[in-house]
Amino acid sequence: MTWSSKFMAAAAALTLTLGTAGFGAAADVVKIGNIEPLSGPSAAVGIQGQKAREMAVEEINAAGGIKSLGGAKLELLYADSKGDPTTGVTEAERMINSEKVHLLTGCWNSAVTYPTTQVAERYGVPFIVPVSVRDTITERGFKNVFRIAAKDSWWTRDQFQFLKDMQQEFGAEVKKVAFVYENGDWGTGFAEGWRKLAKAAGYEVVLDEPYPSTASDLTPVVIKLKRAKPDVVFMTSNAADAILLTNTMAEMKVNVKAIITSGGGHADPSFIAAAGKNAEYLFDIVEWETDLNRPGLKEVNAKFNAKNGQNLNGESVDAYAAMYLIKDVLERAGSLEPGKIREALASTKLCGGDVGLLAYDCIEFDESGQNQNASLVVVQLRQNGETMDRITVWPKNVRRDGYTPVFPQPAK
């Protein structure tokens, strides 16, 4: 750093701390407010999102920042939502009013994203939702909310389609299904979808059980599940309860043909580490998987793993892609004016390149702000030596070469 650039940096910092309206024309930084669960029950996934964002922003800044804004650097600001809606809303207000952020991202927990995006909409601040699946987040006619991930009606739709395809492929009979889900917005939203789809498909629902994510003991739920004798269990869980349920189910020898889970806790790396062999044969629906044959995926994942000792997952990939989406949008907007950013967001067609590691080709938003290309894949967990492997099995055209899914799963 030369003397003059040091002086410039100091001057810029001074301008910022004094809070004068000194930046507007020539901005030095683009402030991105990130509201994530950095503590509380979903902290694990929030922190992964944080790490992915940081890696992407480091890359973008190292490559010269936003060129159309004179090389402006991206700056990440974090707020811990603790997974709590009220905290999320307060933090959004703070981010917008005190920190004067140009964009907001978050909040992972649908229950937090839903009211928080409302705040952003009121202030006209563009809000990018990497992951939060509740349908209504983009179905309220908001102008400033854009979601990268698929919404939950797509998830449940694909879960049932998957089950149907599996039955056909393996000639197995499925009559009775059970729903076990965390009682937040996310779980109850999924359950609503399942109920409709089960009715349409003619399955008998033998158990429909919400449970509190913070429960210290889930044995009661497992006892109920065992007595209900379902063929297939659909599950929506955060990491802690996913571990508890999976282990207790294996210990109590609950035998079912298949367990179909909904990403989230079941896709969390700490889930596999903690549940170990008990998690084998489980089917998990996710937006992304490390074994997908996508350009650049291996390199980015290797880099992330070297940095953080963990593989990327659906959440972190969406968070990573969100930063490149922001870069693309700002390049095209060429301004930090919210209206311009919003316009650029709405006309996004970001394909391949830096977001090429997503499971689909392009990010493109429909009228409601939903990424219309977002798609899902189903993986099966299999023990492979010491590690538990997540093997893509559905849709059939992306199934890992040479792998035959195990359906129904063997008895415990």
Partner 1 sequence: MLGFIESLLNGILMGSIYGLTAVGLTLIFGVMKVINFAHGSILMVGMYAAYWVVTKTGMNPYLALLVVVPFLFCFGYLLQRFVIKPIFDAEKDVREPITVIIVTTGIWYVLDNLALILFGAEYRVAKTSVTGKMFEFMEMYFLVPKLIGAGITLLCGVYLYWFLKHSRTGKAIRATSLDREAATLMGIKQSQIYNIAFGLGAACCGVAACVLIPFYYVYPTVGVPFDIKAFVIVVLGGLGSIPGAILGGIIIGIIETVGAQFMAATWTELLIYAVFLVVLFVKPSGLFGLRQDF
Binding interface with partner 1 (CB under 8 A): 39-41, 43-44, 46-47, 183, 209-212, 214-221, 223-224, 227, 239-240, 243-244, 247, 250-253, 269-271, 273-276, 278
Task: For partner 1, give the closer residue by CB, 11 or 273.
Answer: 273
Q: CB of 24: closest distance to partner 1 in angstroms?
A: 37
Residue 260 token pair: 């179909």
Task: For partner 1, give the closer residue by CB, 211 or 394.
Answer: 211
Task: For partner 1, give the closer residue by CB, 64 or 212.
Answer: 212
Interatomic CA distance for residues 298 and 302, integer angstroms: 6
DSSP 86-117: HHHHHHHHHHHHTS--SEEEE-SSHHHHHHHH
Q: CB of 51: closest distance to partner 1 in angstroms?
A: 11
Q: Which residues contact 132 (CB under 8 A, 6 or more apart)?
A: 106, 107, 108, 109, 110, 112, 113, 114, 147, 149
Interatomic CA distance for residues 73 and 64, integer angstroms: 8
Q: CB of 392: closest distance to partner 1 in angstroms?
A: 24
Q: CB of 304: closest distance to partner 1 in angstroms?
A: 16
Q: CB of 209: closest distance to partner 1 in angstroms?
A: 6
If residue 44 lies in a helix (H) or strand (E), which one and from where to where? Answer: helix 43-62
Task: For partner 1, give the closer residue by CB, 218 or 267.
Answer: 218
Interatomic CA distance for residues 324 and 359, integer angstroms: 16
Task: For partner 1, give the closer residue by CB, 100 or 224.
Answer: 224
Task: For partner 1, give the closer residue by CB, 44 or 148.
Answer: 44
**Please, what's the b/e burial string for 18-52 (b: 16 or more CB within 10 A of its CB; e: otherwise)?**
eeeeebeeebbbbbbbbbbbbebbbbbbbbbbbbb
Q: CB of 249: closest distance to partner 1 in angstroms?
A: 11
